[in-house]
Copies of this chain bind each other. A is one copy, B any other.
Amino acid sequence: MKNYRFIDGTVTSPLGFTANGICAGIKAYGSATQPALKNEPLLPSNGKRDLALICCEKQCSAAAIFTKNLVKSDTIYVTQKHLENGRAQAVIVNSGNANACNPDGYEKAEKMCRIASEVLGVAEDDVIVASTGVIGQALPIEPIEAGARAMRGTLSKEGGTNAAEAIMTTDTVRKEWAVQLTLGGKTVTIGGIAKGSGMIHINMGTTLSFVTTDAAVSAEMLREALVEAADVSYNMVSVDGDTSTNDTLAIMASGLAGNDEITEKNEDYHIFTEALTAAFKRVAKMLASDGEGATKLVVCKVDGAKDENTAKVIAKSVICSSLVKAAMFGADANCGRILCAVGYSGAEVNTKKIDVSYRSAKGEILVCRDGFGLAFDEDKAKEILLENEIDIIITLSDGSGSAEAYGCDLTYDYVKINGDYRT
């Protein structure tokens, strides 16, 4: 039985949190290569939202996990420093510029925290900062400062959705969610917003996610829960170690739900983490289906592997294969590309014990049994693969390890979007 239920909601659904997001004109404002026109309006009235603030009425316990890329945005170092004490109260985040690989990146990330601190009346070291967008161009601080000041006093429960929009880059839909559960008789809400696209080499999609909850959870347990939930969700749309410069997944817990604070891995911890995991898996699917240019969500489910890690390695290898992704775009029930991706994954498998089938709302079709391609009904296969949610099911006979990985198809539009991203 599930101990949680999804509700309509966002990052402001938990008690204590408000937010807003506006168009500060960061991308238009200028960059290292396109000097700003100082007399341009600072707050374009009808552009894409690109600056968000999230705030809690009280200091929260907080934790975050970050990209494993050696090249990191300075926002990550500043946020890490601010979370050393396990406390935070607000988030400032911009899209349009990643503030990565810039000589003055650290200074500007600190400046963003100072701006949020002034506008929201919170301590500077209680601010989480993040950026997403083009790498290697100077971050224009002026529109951020003006934009944040313009948001003073405007943060609200409804503003969570504006914040979700403000962190989008090539995303085509905003990503927000909320889930409720009961801990010790108290209703607890967890909510979040996320951005991420550019998923062809899944590893490259910058993911930003901000999660809030009114549960009382210690910073240490928040971190444990984040790692546990991300491992089977965010990390299954992302090859470990192969991440963008800016990936940040942060959580703040206000404790306003009034439950007994979770300070160890007790039953409440597991109920909380179960709900968080379900929510993160939903986000993983949102990220994958909104992959740049994607027309369909592709989930690879592996069962019967030697162990869970083997299953993960195989599922990720299949979901990352450009040839598999292109075949999904073409609704081509190619089994050779799946077997090939299993074979080069590095995982230990008995190649004569691999079954492969495709499944969607239109049914399921077996295309490979015991490692050999089967003759199958091409029309039926086409009908199944023309749906926009496809499962690739790989069954091995080596043990009981299972895993799911989330991806999308590779399309003309991916190339279009990424052929000239900066302009």
Copies in the complex: 2
Find chain B residues with CB under 8 A from A414 CB.
Answer: 322, 326, 415
Known: A98-B336, A323-B198, A344-B242. A415 touches B419 (CB 8 A): no
Tell me whether A419 and B372 are in contact (CB under 8 A).
Answer: no
- Residues of A102-161 at the interface with B, using a CB-CB cut-off of 8 Å, are 102-103, 134-137
Whether A42 is near chain B, meaning CB under 8 Å from some CB there, is no
Whether A23 is near chain B, meaning CB under 8 Å from some CB there, is no
Q: What is the bound-complex CA distance between A376 and B422, given in angstroms?
A: 14
Closest CB in chain B relative to A353 CB, distance in Å? 12
Tell me whether A373 and B342 are in contact (CB under 8 A).
Answer: no
Whether A343 is near chain B, meaning CB under 8 Å from some CB there, is yes
Minimal Cβ-Cβ distance residue in B for A345: B70
Closest CB in chain B relative to A206 CB, distance in Å? 9
Tell me whether A371 and B101 are in contact (CB under 8 A).
Answer: yes
Find chain B residues with CB under 8 A from A245 CB.
Answer: 336, 339-340, 343
Whether A329 is near chain B, meaning CB under 8 Å from some CB there, is yes
Tell me whether B336 and A135 are in contact (CB under 8 A).
Answer: yes
Find chain B residues with CB under 8 A from A323 CB.
Answer: 198, 200-201, 204, 418, 421
- Residues of A378-423 at the interface with B, using a CB-CB cut-off of 8 Å, are 378, 410-412, 414-423
Closest CB in chain B relative to A384 CB, distance in Å? 15
Find chain B residues with CB under 8 A from A36 CB.
Answer: none
The main secondary structure of chain A at its interface with chain B is loop
Interface size bracket, A side: 35 or more
Whether A75 is near chain B, meaning CB under 8 Å from some CB there, is no
Tell me whether A322 and B201 are in contact (CB under 8 A).
Answer: yes
Whether A256 is near chain B, meaning CB under 8 Å from some CB there, is no
Find chain B residues with CB under 8 A from A201 CB.
Answer: 320-323
Q: What is the bound-complex CA distance between A351 and B103, given in angstroms?
A: 12
Tell me whether A418 and B326 are in contact (CB under 8 A).
Answer: yes
Tell me whether A32 and B326 are in contact (CB under 8 A).
Answer: no
Find chain B residues with CB under 8 A from A329 CB.
Answer: 415, 419
Find chain B residues with CB under 8 A from A351 CB.
Answer: 70-71
Q: What is the bound-complex CA distance between A136 and B243, given in angstroms?
A: 34
Find chain B residues with CB under 8 A from A7 CB.
Answer: none
Closest 6 pairs (CB-CB, A-B): A136-B373, A135-B336, A330-B419, A71-B343, A326-B418, A330-B420
Instruction: Write 29 A-B pairs (CB below 8 A) sorted by A numbering.
Output: A71-B342, A71-B344, A71-B351, A98-B336, A100-B339, A101-B335, A101-B372, A101-B373, A102-B372, A136-B335, A136-B368, A198-B323, A201-B321, A204-B322, A204-B337, A322-B418, A323-B418, A326-B418, A326-B419, A327-B419, A330-B418, A330-B420, A332-B422, A334-B421, A334-B422, A410-B418, A412-B416, A414-B415, A415-B415
Q: List 4 other contacts, CB 8 Å, given A69-B340, A326-B415.
A: A102-B373, A103-B372, A136-B367, A243-B344
